[in-house]
A and B are shown apart, each in its own frame.
Chain A
Amino acid sequence: MSQLLDGLEIGERIGKRIPEAVVEATPQWVVVHPQKLVEVATYLRDDSELNFRFLSGVTAVDHLDHFEVVYHLQSFSPNHMLTLKTRALDHDNPEVPSLVSVWRGAELQEREAYDLMGVRFAGHPDLRRVFLWEGFPGHPLRKDWLEMPGGLSPGLGRFPRED
């Protein structure tokens, strides 16, 4: 069984190694400061006990006032996983450092997050749109993206049975 590592414990370990990196730690995840992200990620990958060599997924979440970028990390040996997060607090111009230099697997996933959510990954070697075309108005997965070209409004209204 793949064990989900305790975020509090890992947060403490990261904090000892890289001061002021951890913003918040809960049993489920660790939130680190974007400026320390590459350093933390390199530590998590290279530490022989943690050994997070596999980046399972990267995604961004729009929390209305800020963006959260979520990394699911997996180690093959020992078999455990960790959810690492970072926050881009400027909602109009979100930017976090790219982790392509640490895990190649972030390359396409960061492009996807940039394309659909508009989070810029500083230091990404090839940050372009991937599904939509260059010049598409806005980033559609953002919660404040409400208008499509041609006056269409995306998404449904409320679920009819909810009342």
Chain B
Amino acid sequence: MTMKSEPFVVNVGPQHPSTHGVFRLRLTMDGEKIVDAEMVVGYLHRSMEKLAEGRTYTQNIPFTDRLDYLSAMSNNLAYCMAVEKLAGIDVPERGQFLRVIMAEFQRIANHAMAIASFAMECGVWFTPLMWMFREREKILDLFEMTCGARLTTNYVRIGGVSFDIPPEFMPAARALLKEMPERIAEYEALLMENEIILARSRDVGVLQPDLAIASSASGPVLRGSGVMWDIRKADPYAAYDRLEFDIPVGTCGDCYDRFLVRMEELRQSVRILEQALDMLPDGPASVNVPLALRPPAGEAYARIEAPKGELGFYLVSDGSPHPHRFHIRSPSYINLTPLRDMVVGLTVPDAVITLGSIDIVLGEVDR
């Protein structure tokens, strides 16, 4: 006897724990298989690009904290680099190294969150989350000690950073870096060969390298597909050209590969941080920049390798203290372009894992 079936629609989100915020996935199902997927976003749209046009360049820095609120330091850095490029400001060497140190600590904190939530979605409940939050907490303590804030740091400023590090920063940072390799080994022992993760994430959500490049994916999503592309190496900014590190890449582009890339990036970040703390030069951390900065008319595009991918700011100045155009090239949003191709043919639980492995933050998707 043949059964007749007809497609039906499943809404995942916007209020659903697996969507990492207010993200809605409209899945058309044929039985258990997904035949079409459509993303619906905009629930967190705060029109930042418009708001920024009414404020000065310095006043816009706090907006960038609220983009990807799990990696505020990286967002501050990308925006300030764009303004500095526009206005031709040079940052002192110590400021450049402090930026690298903060950006790499932020990468560890972000990847800890990404890996932990990914493990939760696979079904490895709570232990990895608690372990990783233990280290993330220490990183947030370092941020708090430096600039007084834990999440919305507003630390990197145009021309440098807001505060130099306090004396107690160095011992705390070194102690954390000393224990990190051991902690990462623990995570690996818990997760890398974990039967649940292997069973759930291998060969799921495969993204072919050609499609990854064509659809502008960046960050761990692109590298998970085996494309060796990291802006820290390809177009070095701040002090990355003086630091040694490797770029991990995946082999087949499935969810497990993206998870492995993030895991290895934790190690590489620790390696960068050890060098950067050793090399941190003396001298001023920033230069003075007028509060109502008036960059000359023109445009600038600056980009960094944020934890989630290529984060770029495109600014157009008309010579006034407000940007004429303030555009954010946000990695979370653009990494969702190949989502449909990745989830069609899977089941709903696999689609949830695929979305988790892309690692989106809705503050950055909707802006």
Q: State which of A104, A155, A161 has its C-beta within 8 Å of the C-beta of B53.
A: A155
B42 in contact with A62 (CB, 8 Å) = no
Residues of A within 8 Å of B215, CB to CB, are: 103-105, 107
B234 in contact with A2 (CB, 8 Å) = yes
B334 in contact with A105 (CB, 8 Å) = yes
**Closest A-chain residue to B333, C-beta based?**
A108
Residues of B within 8 Å of A98, CB to CB, are: none
Q: Hey, what's the 0/1 contact readout for A85-121 against B, CB within 8 Å counting as 1?
A: 0000000000000000001111111001000100000
Residues of B within 8 Å of A104, CB to CB, are: 211, 214-216, 337-338
- Cα of A57 to Cα of B334 in the assembled complex, Å: 9
- Cα of A2 to Cα of B53 in the assembled complex, Å: 29
Q: How large is the interface on B (under 10, 10 to 19, 20 to 34, 35 or more residues)?
A: 35 or more
**Distance (Å) between the CB of B24 and the closest chain A CB?**
12
- Cα of A1 to Cα of B241 in the assembled complex, Å: 9
A15 at the interface (CB under 8 A from B): no
Residues of A within 8 Å of B45, CB to CB, are: 131-132
Residues of A within 8 Å of B327, CB to CB, are: 57, 59, 61
- Cα of A50 to Cα of B318 in the assembled complex, Å: 31
**Distance (Å) between the CB of B237 and the closest chain A CB?**
10
B291 in contact with A161 (CB, 8 Å) = yes
A25 at the interface (CB under 8 A from B): no
**Distance (Å) between the CB of A91 and the closest chain B CB?**
15
A155 in contact with B50 (CB, 8 Å) = yes
Residues of A within 8 Å of B217, CB to CB, are: 105
Q: Hey, what's the 0/1 contact readout for B332-366 against A, CB within 8 Å counting as 1?
A: 01101110000000000000000000000000001
Q: How large is the interface on A (under 10, 10 to 19, 20 to 34, 35 or more residues)?
A: 35 or more
- Cα of A104 to Cα of B316 in the assembled complex, Å: 26
A105 in contact with B216 (CB, 8 Å) = yes
B337 in contact with A108 (CB, 8 Å) = yes
- Cα of A43 to Cα of B41 in the assembled complex, Å: 33
B310 at the interface (CB under 8 A from A): yes
**Closest A-chain residue to B310, C-beta based?**
A56
Interface centre among B41, B227, B235, by most A CB within 10 Å? B235
Binding site for A on B (CB under 8 A): 41-42, 45, 47, 49-51, 53-56, 59, 211, 213-217, 227, 229, 231, 234-236, 241, 291-292, 299, 301, 303, 310, 312, 314, 316, 321-322, 324-325, 327, 329, 333-334, 336-338, 366-367
